[in-house]
Structure 1
């Protein structure tokens, strides 16, 4: 008999385990429902701000919500068992010590966690060797979950939690690390990141940070807890400064330059949702007893931000009323005859006060856009890229239909999607990454394709998602630029302060479409990240502040997220990358080549070992020809090396495309994509390289078109069913 049998049956006569499971489900279902209604209500209010919309859109949806719910069910069930056991035994006990493996497996099955790790058969997935699944399940045939959506981030170093399991770094304000207390992240932001001047990058355009955000939204999305309130105490994470899972508020230091002494003493922060088979809930599966976080996107460069990383969403985004393999478009508005993104069915009005905030000429409500990634409306530059690639998919599908009139709707969709994925892989490796990590790191790690290796796990590392690939936050300008046909300030629709360009899809609908925005991205410089001029005020002090409510601090959020995820400190990652590990002020000064900065960091952290890795990586001087320091250059190249080598359907892998198709993909031009899908007539040949005032721009008429002739199919028998029969077929 197990120790669990020592417990008395509950008053209804049911087994103890089932009683705890039932109570956990009721508590969580109520919290989830309340929070969803509360979030929706806040976002629908006329006084709502961008933070309200972001909070709602960042909540888990579809299969991600199921994954998070299963994890929370199991975690809370075990917590209840542990609490009740403690009440009976009058001393601390671990719930998993009270239960047999069979009992733990029963809980796992009833909560839904078992389904998250059960074996997957790839034999019944149609055309698994030809097209990606939406979720990237079965990209790796031996390990089908490698790189798939809604699986845990991987760890390159063991997690560093205060309790060794799940408690964030800095949760206990009295705990010392290497002999020193961790500083408040807002205090670090005030002392290190706050700089009023903005240096412009003489080499790269503002497309660089926005395209970096575009790439990030293809690879990483960490859902937060679905509940805005603590499960145990009911504390409202938005209103209270009490720490109670999932509330992990950011304290505001005394005499804060923005908040002063009499304002709210914290910024709200929700912990990231746990993965199902980690922490206490991982024990039945043999998983390490450490909390991990979920990546709701696939780990592959597959243009998932265009198509979605879940089957249901991918299907929602398709136009199934026609047989051309198209994506859905907006049915109410166009951009001077060109396509716009479709609106979400979520009843949100992102133009709450048109007369004052939106457009004086149009009084219509504007819902949020919908795309393959929920963050499509985060800023209008990002929305412009979403719109550009939506149009390019439909352009490709129509062109393929002309070349292959016998192809079914599914074949047209999948082939256009496959080409789009190849586009992205070429553009990111050839044009984008070299500018970030510099030619030395690129040549050593990324220049030559090593071939596919099914032993390589391409899953996104927690440190990459939480720290290294957030370097771009320091290259964003305080404006979203809008330029006219001559690449000068647009006379009718001038550039918009960044904090007024967040969650404003109406600016795209009513204020000139995407052409002025695309010109602004390729015709104005990025902000230059320097040690003296780090983060612009719009991100550090005015994030998501449009009309009311307390604005967030992106720098503080990034550091708090790293602590939430148990990311080890700066020197641990320097050691992993084979770099020196400074121990004191002279050594840190040599690494940073900046004595005042090194001194301020040690005044805050006491020792270099404690520095939050996001901040430490950003504090380093840039590598030659790149836009990050040595640590982030190491981590970023390592991640993209794994992404490429662990992708069975990578564009260069033999058999994925024909040799002629690979040659065509290798010549893809982002400038040509812009020309094909906008009214812009001249662009920089390399849109990432800054050319002031439109100098050295190329006319669209001189930029070679993408060659689709290698996709002409003369083998009709290979296309499956005819169009009439496949009109309603599914993609997976």
Structure 2
């Protein structure tokens, strides 16, 4: 099966993701073309680096202004994140093992069973594509108007609601990469095993780290994991609260109305994104390193062109 060449083959993982990668690639090339027109004496490296600054800043704006508040919540999560005070050279912005291995993988719980192809009031089966049919199906990107229909479909489709009773879609646990493998994979099992391979402390230990109580019985999870049936299941599977894997326990936590994660992952996500922001000397709000007015003027010229 043919795929697009990129820095990571997983850019082709599914059609929605591939569409977004394509949008940002086009945005990069659009900016680079305009910068070359404005600065004809610049060489290729200068054009690339300046374009990279702008694209990186735009990604940061979307992430910190628009996306993150929806994930960790305005009431609690953004207060943990705190306001940006400027670049701090003493902050280490490296990615924590727990963030890469477990916390950021909360997103798997938000993946819908279907990908909607276009904006419709009442979507028909023709517009709904099972996710299992879209894994590494890069050839579909050559269909007429596919970018517009996919992007409009994503705009019109809400995220899967985080529910402890159905934490992750069957498309990811029963049909992952079905088209490209003899036997489909199970993403939930992979996440659990990855955490163990990376020697992550258990869920109870991270509860303590995030200011929650250490549960000595499964009923003591009830403040965060309110579903009694789920707690009973955990007890049957794990035997003792100290044995529960972080990813499993955290995705089963109930979430606030303005967030998509429970208190444990909210704590770990907010901490990592705070370090990524404060320890980045090129962060888009750092006016000493990055002139926001110039970017806005460049974008204005591009849209007027």
TM-score, scaled to structure 2: 0.92
SS at match of 2:224: helix
What are the residue-to-residue correspondences of 1:35-46 with 2, within 5 Å?
none
Match of 1:707 in 2: 300
Match of 1:388 in 2: 23
SS at match of 2:179: coil
Equivalents in 2 of 1:651, 1:540: separation in Å? 38
For each residue in 1:429-481, what CA deviation from the matched residue of structure 2 results, as whole angstroms up to 9, or x when unmatched?
00000000001234323351122222211111111111111111111111122
Match of 1:374 in 2: 9
Q: Does 1:642 align with 2:280?
A: no
| Structure 1 residue 504 displacement after superposition | 0.6
Is the 2:3–2:12 Cα contact (8 Å) retained in structure 1?
Answer: yes
For each residue in 1:225-252, what CA deviation from the matched residue of structure 2 results, as whole angstroms up to 9, or x when unmatched?
xxxxxxxxxxxxxxxxxxxxxxxxxxxx
SS at match of 2:230: helix
Match of 1:502 in 2: 135
Q: Does 1:438 align with 2:73?
A: yes
Equivalents in 2 of 1:552, 1:511: separation in Å? 31
| Structure 1 residue 596 displacement after superposition | 1.4
1:473 to 89, 92, 108: 108
Is the 1:451–1:645 Cα contact (8 Å) retained in structure 2?
Answer: yes
Match of 1:313 in 2: none
Is the 1:468–1:632 Cα contact (8 Å) retained in structure 2?
Answer: yes
Is the 1:499–1:542 Cα contact (8 Å) retained in structure 2?
Answer: yes
Equivalents in 1 of 2:290, 2:180: separation in Å? 50
What are the residue-to-residue correspondences of 1:650-661 with 2, within 5 Å?
650-658=283-291, 660-661=293-294
SS at match of 1:444: helix
**Change in 2 beyond 3 A, CA 1:432/1:597:** same
2:86 to 443, 451, 470: 451
**Change in 2 beyond 3 A, CA 1:588/1:393:** same
Q: Does 1:557 align with 2:194?
A: no
| Structure 1 residue 507 displacement after superposition | 0.6
**Change in 2 beyond 3 A, CA 1:445/1:372:** farther
Match of 2:209 in 1: 576
Match of 2:165 in 1: 532
Higher Rg: 1
Match of 2:243 in 1: 610
**Change in 2 beyond 3 A, CA 1:498/1:590:** same
SS at match of 1:707: helix
Equivalents in 1 of 2:180, 2:210: separation in Å? 44
1:588 to 203, 217, 221: 221
Unaligned runs of 5+ in 1: 1-349, 351-366, 666-704, 710-732
SS at match of 2:159: strand
| Structure 1 residue 708 displacement after superposition | 5.1
| Structure 1 residue 641 displacement after superposition | 0.6
Is the 1:617–1:631 Cα contact (8 Å) retained in structure 2?
Answer: yes
Equivalents in 2 of 1:573, 1:400: separation in Å? 47
**Change in 2 beyond 3 A, CA 1:553/1:414:** same
Equivalents in 1 of 2:74, 2:181: separation in Å? 45
Equivalents in 1 of 2:170, 2:208: separation in Å? 33
Is the 1:376–1:383 Cα contact (8 Å) retained in structure 2?
Answer: yes
Match of 1:263 in 2: none
Match of 1:162 in 2: none
| Structure 1 residue 511 displacement after superposition | 5.5
CA RMSD of aligned residues (A): 2.2
| Structure 1 residue 706 displacement after superposition | 3.2
Equivalents in 1 of 2:90, 2:181: separation in Å? 51
Unaligned runs of 5+ in 2: none
Equivalents in 1 of 2:294, 2:214: separation in Å? 47
| Structure 1 residue 652 displacement after superposition | 1.6
Equivalents in 2 of 1:563, 1:638: separation in Å? 22
Match of 1:422 in 2: 57
Equivalents in 2 of 1:396, 1:494: separation in Å? 33
SS at match of 1:405: coil
**Change in 2 beyond 3 A, CA 1:490/1:391:** farther
**Change in 2 beyond 3 A, CA 1:464/1:406:** same
Is the 1:499–1:543 Cα contact (8 Å) retained in structure 2?
Answer: yes
Equivalents in 1 of 2:77, 2:294: separation in Å? 25
Match of 1:335 in 2: none
Is the 1:621–1:628 Cα contact (8 Å) retained in structure 2?
Answer: yes
Is the 2:72–2:261 Cα contact (8 Å) retained in structure 1?
Answer: yes
Q: Does 1:599 align with 2:192?
A: no
SS at match of 1:591: coil
Is the 2:284–2:292 Cα contact (8 Å) retained in structure 1?
Answer: no
**Change in 2 beyond 3 A, CA 1:547/1:505:** closer
| Structure 1 residue 588 displacement after superposition | 1.7
**Change in 2 beyond 3 A, CA 1:469/1:548:** closer
**Change in 2 beyond 3 A, CA 1:548/1:472:** closer
Equivalents in 2 of 1:488, 1:585: separation in Å? 43
| Structure 1 residue 487 displacement after superposition | 6.6
**Change in 2 beyond 3 A, CA 1:659/1:464:** closer
Pairs aligned (count):
302
Moved over 4 A (4+): 486-491
Higher relative contact order (CA 8 A, sep 6+): 2
Equivalents in 2 of 1:548, 1:559: separation in Å? 21
